[in-house]
Structures are given as C-alpha cells and as structure tokens.
Amino acid sequence: MNTSLAEKIVEDKKNGISDKEIGKKFGVNLKLIEKAVTQQLGVNISNPSKRKKKIISLDPQSFELETSTVWSFKSRGKWATHNGNYRGNWSPYIPRNVILRYSKEGDIVLDYFCGGGTTAVESKLLNRNFIGIDINSSAIELSKENLDFDSDLFSPNPSIILKVGDARNLSTIHENSIDLICAHPPYADIVAYSHGNPSDLSSRDVGGFLDEIEKVARESYRVLKPKAHCAILIGDMRKNKNVIPLGFWTIGKYLEAGFKIKELIIKRQHNCKTTGFWYNNSVKYNFLLLAHEYLAIFEKTKTNEEYENRTTALSKGFKIDKEIYLESTTVWIFNKNDWEGKAISNLFKRYSAKKPLLYKNSAKDASVDLIVNIGPKNIDACFKYSEKNLKDGGILAIFCEDTRGKHGLIKSTAMEVEKGLRGNKSFTLKELVILSIENGKPKNNADIEITHKYILIYIKAQINGK
Ligand SMILES: C[S@@+](CC[C@H](N)C(=O)[O-])C[C@H]1O[C@@H](n2cnc3c(N)ncnc32)[C@H](O)[C@@H]1O
C-alpha cells in the first residue's frame, strides 16, 4: 500500500473515526485498514489512540478453574491491562487457567509468540517468572507497556524477560529449563502481524506454516523440563467450502517432536455471527461457520498408554426429528440425554435429500446421499463400502471421541481417522464438527472431564481446494 494512503488511514484511526467510515472514504476493506496500521505503526492494533488502559481491577471477578474440555468465555476478560487492542490476542482466561493448572509460583513460563503480552501479564499477576519472545519488536514494546503496572505489593516480584527473537530457534534457552510453555501461534496466512518480515509465520501458506511450526515444536520439546507441559491454541481454516484441519495438523507436528497429549480442549469462539445473513448462507451454500479452536496441552513424557477400544453406541430410543433447528456453526451443543438424535437429525436434514443410511457393516443399500458411522467403527471397511454405495457429492459422517488411558494421557480417534484418510482421492474432509455434550457441572478432578465428541464429515469425489 502506498505510504500516503496508509498515513491518512492511520491519522483517521487515531482521530477515532470508525473502520466503516474509513472504508467508505478510501474504498478499502478491513484487511487493508489493518495492513495500513501494521505498516505505519509496526503492530496490528485496533485502536491506536488508546494504547494505555486505566486499570479498574487486577483480578477477574468470580474466577473458577475450568473442569471440562469445552471452554467458553462470554466476555474476553478486562482485568489489569488486558484489552482486545492487539489483533488476535487471546482471552486472558486461557493463560490464567493453564498457568494455574500446570505451574506453581516461582516457576518459569515461556511464551514464544508473546504478542501484546497477555501471558506475560498473567504470569506477573500469578507470580510466575516469565520469558516472552516475539519476532516483532513493536509487539515487544506493546508488551512492555502492558506490563507497566504495580502488582500485589505483598508478593515477590517475578522476573520478566522480554526479547525480540524467533520461536524456531530458542538457542539462548537451556534444554530442560522451562516449567511451562503457553503460546498462541499466528495462523497461517490469516492475520498479518508484521509488515514485510518473512520470519513472521503469519506470512506463510499452510504448507510453509506447518514446516516452520515443526521447528518450533522441536525447540519446545528441547527447552521444556521432563514431565512439564506445553499449551498451544490453534484453530482450523476454510478453503472454499471445505475445512482445512490446521488444528489437527499442527498438533500432529508436536506429537512428531515427541510430545504426548495430556488434554485436548475445545475453546468456543463467540465472534462468529449465527443469525440472519450468515445463518442463511450457511444453509444456502451448505457450510458451517468455524466457531472453535483447539487448546492442546502436551506433556513431555515417555509414558506409553494402553487404551480400551471404545466406540460410541447408539441409544435405543433414538429418533429422527425432521423439524430440527439446523446448526450453522462447527460447535453443536446438546444434552447428554438426546445428543445422538439431535446430531443425526441435523446430518439427515442438512445432507440428505432422500436416502440416508446408518452404517452397520451388513447394509446392502446402494446409491445413498448420506452414510453415518456412529463409532468410529470398522473405518477401512466403511470407506470401501461408502466408495461403492455413496452417490458422487454424497456425505460420509463419522463420529469420533477422545479417550483417556490409565496414566491420564489422551488418544484422539478423530485425529487418527483424519490422518488415515489424508490425501484420499475419493473423499475430502468437508467439515469438522464438535459435539459439546452438556452433563451438569463436572467434578473438579485432577484431569479435565471429556465432554465433547467429533463428527468428521467427508464429501465424496471432490478434491480439496477445488
Ligand atoms: C496470535 S499472536 C499472539 C498473541 C498473544 N498471545 C497475545 O495475547 O497478545 C502471534 C504472535 O506471533 C508472533 N510471531 C510470528 N512469527 C513468529 C516467530 N517466527 N517467532 C516468534 N514470534 C512470531 C507475531 O508477531 C504475533 O505477535
């Protein structure tokens, strides 16, 4: 973008003119406005006129630790210096939960995608020592501004180190020295965090991003103490009408680096619009609005788990409801008593014109629109069967779940099924749905209670990206 246009846009932003008015005046969209701000100020912030925030309270009001695998924060959290100004910063409830569960006072917390310093502020408030790294010097400056407040006068002041650096190369940090990593990577190609910096991972396409995140995962494994934890928040993307499961692929890179999964948490996103225009489009063009991210908690451990082979069973009283309210996002919230009926009714209503089929191995039907595998059961056989019996453009929906072994580690059948079918010529992953099954208030156990399942929705004979 030429400098004079960028200057004018930033001037208007500083004068408090809304993005809508700026858009109209200069004929630019939100992405270009963000580009102008990042180009001129070095950071992607939504409100350049209000960098410094007046502190009302240092703690969240009535905070409770999360106890189930579906996290949903109605407000983003505004205590201390937290605010939504830095684009893509995470809600402080996330690092607060992670820090409280997986570290103790005096430990060292590392965030190598430090951004505006949300994890840094939480570490300071919770008396953890902190190392924050970011590729963008202006983000590090913003973190310093956000850390410029007096914390609890009666607690020792933790050590906070902030520096410009690259998460792919943590050579200044000794191996086995960090107690907790807590970080939110930039998504491949979604929000631009800096201007013209090729080391910024947000400048990479999906393939390039995954190659680089592999290096970050290896460094994470090296610097973390044995048995310690590494928490990463990452979501999926959409290309045309199909989902790109970037979350599972990124988690896969951390597993390849040697980590095991301690928890796989679903973080609901509330910024997606689910009424009017978007609801209608989700039905008309048959796609679901992305409404979740994954918070993977990895453990550096050599423990090997044995898992019982569990598959979801269909309850006897299950009924198809033709009048069901059609879900429009990737998170479907049902009650433990009727979730199967509601989930399957949704699949039937959205994907099947006439002929749905529940996969049972022995079915002889052919030329159907939709096959549902409540399971996952006999995946290889089910795919062969679906290849033969589904119409072109037909849908195969597979129910999957996470299970916990006796040492407390998680196995995700959804990740296994997705990995097994990656690159399959006959089927493309179209949607990745989260079923959040409400079951009253979970007990406050050492392990988080698993309250979600997945539906992997494949479309026949449509190649990814086309
Ligand atoms: C999603 S933001 C993190 C936001 C942060 N959690 C917060 O709440 O402010 C991702 C950050 O990663 C940084 N980043 C991108 N590539 C990087 C790299 N190679 N090494 C370190 N930081 C990088 C970006 O500058 C951006 O600040």
- What residue ranges do the domains of the chain occupy? 3-41, 70-299, 331-460
With a pLDDT cut of 70, the percent of the chain lying above it is 93
Does 259 sit in the ligand 1 pocket, CB within 6 Å? no
pLDDT in tens, 51-104: 677 788 999 998 999 999 999 998 889 999 998 888 889 999 999 999 999 999
Q: Whose CA is nearest to atom 15 of ligand 1?
A: 200
Pairing assessment for the beta strands 427-438 and 242-244 based on DSSP bridges: unpaired
Does 42 sit in the ligand 1 pocket, CB within 6 Å? no
Q: Supply φ then ψ for residue 122, to 5 degrees.
A: -65, -40
Q: How far apart, in whole angstroms, are the C-alpha atoms of residue 5 and residue 86?
A: 22
Does 38 sit in the ligand 1 pocket, CB within 6 Å? no
Domain at 70-299: CATH architecture = 3-Layer(aba) Sandwich (3.40)
- Whole-number Å distance, alpha carbon 442 to ligand 1 midpoint, is 33
Q: Whose CA is nearest to atom 10 of ligand 1?
A: 186
Across the chain, what does the average pLDDT equal?
89
Pocket test for ligand 1, best of 113, 114, 124, 234 (most atoms within 8 A of CB): 113
Give residue for tokens 């407390």.
408
Q: Which has the closest alpha carbon to 244: 431, 456, 461?
A: 431
The answer to whether 237 and 187 are in contact (CB under 8 A) is yes
- H-assigned helices in 224-302: 246-256, 276-284
The answer to whether 39 and 6 are in contact (CB under 8 A) is yes
The CATH homologous superfamily to which domain 331-460 belongs is Vaccinia Virus protein VP39 (3.40.50.150)
Pocket test for ligand 1, best of 201, 218, 233, 293 (most atoms within 8 A of CB): 201
Q: Which amino acid is at 61?
A: Q
On the question of a common fold for 70-299 and 331-460, the answer reads yes
Predicted confidence band of residue 364 (pLDDT cuts 50, 70, 90):
low
Does 219 sit in the ligand 1 pocket, CB within 6 Å? no
- The pTM for the full model equals 0.91
Question: What integer pLDDT is reported at residue 17 of this predicted model?
Answer: 87
- H-assigned helices in 231-275: 246-256
More confident residue, 321 or 258: 258
Does 80 sit in the ligand 1 pocket, CB within 6 Å? no
Question: What integer pLDDT is reported at residue 421 of this predicted model?
Answer: 92
